Amino acid sequence: MDAFVVRPAGPLSGRVRVNGAKNSSLKLVAAALLAEGRSVVRNVPDIADMRVMAGVLAHLGADVDHDGDAWSVDVPAVVGTATPPALAARLRASICVLGPLLARCGRARAALPGGDRIGSRNIDMHLGGLERMGATVEFGPDFVEARADRLVGADIDLEFASVGATENLLMAAVRAAGTTTIANAAREPEVADLAAFLNAMGADVRGAGTPTVEVRGVGELRPATHQVVPDRIEAGTFAVAAAVSDGEVELEGVVPGHLRLALDKLRAAGIEAEAGDTTLTVRGRGALRGVDVVTLPYPGFPTDLQPQFLVLLSQAAGTSMVTENVFDGRFSAVAELARMGADAYVEGHHIIVRGRRRLRGATVRATDVRAGAALVLAGLVADGPTVVLDPHHVDRGYADFAGRLRALGADIERRGVPARAGAA
Ligand code: EPU
């Protein structure tokens, strides 16, 4: 089995270019299914999840290829309507082909999606919205099937500002008859990015990025070319790496405005964060202070940065409370960090962190993409070597994480470890 082996190497310094957003890229290539012909998506990160998504699209008949970070998705006149269970089960975003396929083909069967085990992750809002647009929905043993001869625009009120449901419904609505209004829509930059791509394809989507999105259905869409928005979570992860190591790192190719609350929290913790137009310089200033963090849908503090912030807070003075409101089971980093000496525990949906505990290297396990990244960050400041098992979770969302940290001065390598290390 392989693992990241991380040793303390002092403050990180240098520059790192931030990739395009994982959680946008995955949906953009799904949206390409809406139009026959070749769409091109640029600035796509080289991550494992994209390769799985490409497999899902290829199974549906699309010709998916990439040249560097530019991915082309060539969609035939007739596409398949059922996603492959083995691939779909590896990826949460696979459910996002349901909306475009239904819009395009009048029926779609999506294998039940997988992805990180961070909570119950229902799809009831995706399906309820499609039903509001006139689809019938049926469950099989490991799939869900939706049918509609023609989707009809509807008023949809989401119970929670779900990113996936907003995106799936948006992609279904663009070719529906009439107008769809999604209220309490997710406002994440990735939703606005998807809407921009859909509009480039000839759709009429207004208000994406606000709580109310209006979609006027159009008959046909055409292929388009689009540049993916920068990955604010990757940027935030490198920012925490700089902060916790008391280093100075310049992030390039970011939209600092997408990280406003995370930057406020870093500053409150005693970190300098200087935003340019597309750059962000993060600088440690010695002593860290504890801060409370509450995760919420955008523009709230992102749940996808919660585990990384736990590492920072474990090194800060005082006691911090982190409240997780988005996922009901995103706490696995806590026990692993505790194995490294962090004083942190879960109380309901809160995580209490008593800071300034010296972390010691240990063998820990990545259980999902962000928890895995957080454990690597903990290894940067722990005494002795930290072995992070199951690094494939990190590969799902970060392109060459170890290599890019190494370029900033980190001592991290990826190597085989004896299988008994996995019993830890
Ligand atoms: N939810 C429901 N019913 C639904 C849909 C969602 O109950 O029909 C619940 C979920 O169980 C969860 C909450 O609503 O408790 C929020 O889920 P949401 O739909 O917003 O999340 P998602 O679309 O499944 C995406 C990202 C996640 C990110 C969240 C929130 C992708 C592929 N995943 O998930 O990214 O945490 O939005 O921002 O876009 C990650 O990158 O590490 C990651 C987990």
In the reported structure, the alpha carbon of residue 121 is separated from the centroid of ligand 1 by a whole-number distance in angstroms of 7
CB burial class (10 A; 0-12, 13-18, 19+) of residue 269?
buried
Query: Which pLDDT score, from 0 to 100, does residue 359 have?
Result: 98
Give the pairing type, strands 319-323 and 350-354.
Answer: antiparallel
Q: What is the pLDDT of residues 80-107, one digit of tens each?
A: 999 999 998 888 888 999 999 999 999 9
* 28-68 residue pLDDT tens: 999 999 999 999 999 999 999 999 999 999 999 999 999 99
- Residue with the smallest CA separation from ligand 1 atom 33 is 23
Minimal-distance CA residue to ligand 1 atom 4: 123
Q: Whose CA is nearest to atom 43 of ligand 1?
A: 304
- Work out the average pLDDT over 375-383: 98
Handedness of CA 118, 119, 125, 127 (dihedral sign): positive
Question: Which residue's C-alpha comes closest to atom 28 of ligand 1?
Answer: 304
Work out which ligand 1 atom sits closest to the CA atom of 297.
Answer: 38
CB neighbour class for 390 (10 Å; exposed up to 12, middle 13-18, buried from 19) = buried
Which residues, 6 or more positions from 109, have their beta carbon under 8 angstroms from its beta carbon? Answer: 81, 82, 83, 140, 143, 144, 145
Ligand 1 centroid to Cα of residue 211, in Å, is: 16
CA of 197 relative to ligand 1 center, distance in Å:
21
The listed CATH number (3.20.20.210, 3.50.50.60, 1.10.3470.10, 3.65.10.10) that belongs to domain 2-18+230-422: 3.65.10.10
304-314 pLDDT tens trace? 999 999 999 99
Query: What confidence score (pLDDT) does residue 113 get?
Result: 78
Give the per-residue pLDDT at 264.
Answer: 98
Are the folds of 2-18+230-422 and 22-227 the same? yes
Ligand 1 atom closest to 124 (CA)? 8
Q: Where are the domains of the chain?
A: 2-18+230-422, 22-227
| CA–CA gap between residue 55 and residue 235 (Å, rounded) | 27
Give the separation between CA 136 and CA 106, rounded to whole angstroms.
11
pLDDT of residue 302: 98
> How far apart are the CA of 56 and the centre of ligand 1, in A?
20
Task: Inform me whether the pLDDT recorded for 424 exceeds 80.
Answer: no
Residue 115 confidence (pLDDT): 67
Q: Ligand 1 pocket test: which of 121, 123, 295, 296 has the largest number of ligand atoms within 8 Å of its C-beta?
A: 121
Question: Which protein residue's CA is at the shortest distance from atom 23 of ligand 1?
Answer: 164
Share of the chain above pLDDT 70, in %: 98
Q: What is the pLDDT of residue 170?
A: 98
Q: Parallel, antiparallel, or unpaired: how do β-strands 293-294 and 319-323 relate? A: parallel
Residue entry with tokens 């019938």: 136
Q: How far apart are the first and last CA of the chain?
A: 13
Pairing of strands 363-365, 386-389: parallel
Determine the distance separating the centroid of ligand 1 and the alpha carbon of 317, expressed in angstroms.
Answer: 32
Tell me, in angstroms, the distance from the centre of ligand 1 to residue 179's CA.
Answer: 25
Q: Give the number of C-alpha atoms closer than 13 A to the C-alpha of residue 396, restricted to the C-beta side.
A: 23
* pLDDT given for residue 423 in this prediction: 53
The pLDDT score that the predictor gives to residue 97 is 96
User: Which mutation among 22, 123, 132, 160 tests ligand 1's pocket best, with the greatest number of atoms within 8 A of CB?
Assistant: 160
Q: Ligand 1 atom 26: the closest Cα is on which residue?
A: 23
- Six token digits for residue 249: 């790192």
- Topology of the domain comprising 22-227: UDP-n-acetylglucosamine1-carboxyvinyl-transferase; Chain (3.65.10)
DSSP 304: G
Residue 185 C-alpha from the chain's centroid: 17
**Cβ atoms of residues 310 and 373 within 8 Å:** no
Residue range 126-138: mean pLDDT, rounded? 98
Please report the pLDDT score of residue 422 as a whole number: 58
Task: Please identify every residue annotated as catalytic.
Answer: 116
Residue 421, pLDDT > 70, answer no
* Ligand 1 cavity residues, CB under 6 Å: 22-23, 26, 92-93, 116, 119-126, 160, 162-165, 186, 188, 303-304, 326-328, 369-370, 397
* pLDDT given for residue 420 in this prediction: 67
Closest atom of ligand 1 to 120 CA is 11
Which tens digit of pLDDT belongs to each residue from 320-336? Answer: 999 999 999 999 999 99
Distance from residue 122's CA to the centre of ligand 1 (Å): 9
